[in-house]
Amino acid sequence: MTQSDSTDSPARTHGKMQRWINHLIQLQDLIFARDQQQASASGSRLSTLEASIQTMTTELPDDIRAHFNRMQKKMGLAIVPIANGVCSACGMQIPVSQVNAVHAANEIYSCPSCARYLFFQAGAPRRTPQRRVRGEPAQVGLARFSSPQLMILNLASTERDEALTEMSARLESEGFVDSAALLTEEAIKREAIASTAVEQGLAFPHVRGVEGGGLTMAVGLSRKGIRFGGKAPSRIVFFMVIPTAASAFYLRLLSGLSQSFREEDAREALFKAESEDDLWKALLKATRTTIT
């Protein structure tokens, strides 16, 4: 499926449909932010997000809006990046000629397999696949997404962007992503859409579309708290790196974490940890029934 827009100037640096592609990406990010608020049982910004979603949706051309809404309802994601020549949502190999056409952005192309809109994502951080040791038992619960090496007992940062930089650096130094700088940049862009802070001093910054491996989470504690945009400083920060295919599962993980740390006793148990290994064990204990 393709769409064209004859009103855009051919002198644009990007293709004539790039503005609508950017519009769709921003709209999908707003929908994801709304869903995050619902999953974390934090409805303080829902009305603002709903209004923005409605405005951006009505601005779309009729045919693009119809396809976008259909894909959102059916698939959960309506527009996804091409990663290494494949649709990052369904894994379909995209012909080189179509990859080049998607990059040119003179039309909007859909995946021949899943029908989602496609876009070209330049300069994105990538996830580094982790190899399992032969004979090692399969991980369960939270251990599927994190590790003791991604625990930060005391965040040195006191500001949001510094904290995102610090946590991105840990993800890179432990070999989970290939570029801390790109990861931080994308995380800050995401926070500009809507703060990921929720009640109870929790924050869930994240970057979606980081292809090359599975969903990964770093956790950092701040005893003084970091201003992520909520009413109160965030003291527990869950920073997640999410491949496109795991976008829906991320919301279930978020819901489980929110449920686990709704009570003050559960949150304070983390601050009793004296080492990052202790913090890891406390997290596993707190989430053993909510994240399976």
Residue that finishes a domain, picked among 120, 150, 169: 120
Q: Strand 197-198 vs strand 202-203: parallel, antiparallel, or unpaired?
A: antiparallel
pLDDT at 235 (0 to 100): 97
Q: Are 50 and 38 in contact (CB under 8 A)?
A: no
What is the total count of domains within the chain? 2
| Helical pair 276-286 and 264-271, crossing angle rounded to 10 deg | 160
Q: Is residue 13 part of a domain?
A: no
pLDDT at 136 (0 to 100): 63
Q: Can you give the pTM of this predicted structure?
A: 0.86
Q: Is residue 205 part of a domain?
A: yes
User: Do residue 115 and residue 148 come from a single domain?
Assistant: no
User: Do residue 145 and residue 275 come from a single domain?
Assistant: yes
User: Do residue 219 and residue 188 come from a single domain?
Assistant: yes
Q: Where residue 68 sits, what CATH number does that domain have?
A: 1.10.287.1490
pLDDT mean for each 10 residues of the chain (292 residues): 37 74 95 89 79 96 97 94 93 95 96 96 81 64 94 96 98 95 96 90 94 93 91 94 90 93 95 97 95 86
Please choose, from the candidates 154, 291, 138, 167, the residue with its C-alpha nearest in 3D space to the C-alpha of residue 241: 167
| Segments forming the whole domain that contains residue 42 | 18-120
Both tokens assigned to 180: 């801390």
Please choose, from the candidates 273, 191, 197, the residue with its C-alpha nearest in 3D space to the C-alpha of residue 235: 197
Q: Where residue 155 sits, what CATH number does that domain have?
A: 3.40.930.10
Please choose, from the candidates 3, 111, 127, 146, the residue with its C-alpha nearest in 3D space to the C-alpha of residue 62: 3
274/151 Cα distance (integer angstroms): 12
pLDDT at 130 (0 to 100): 67
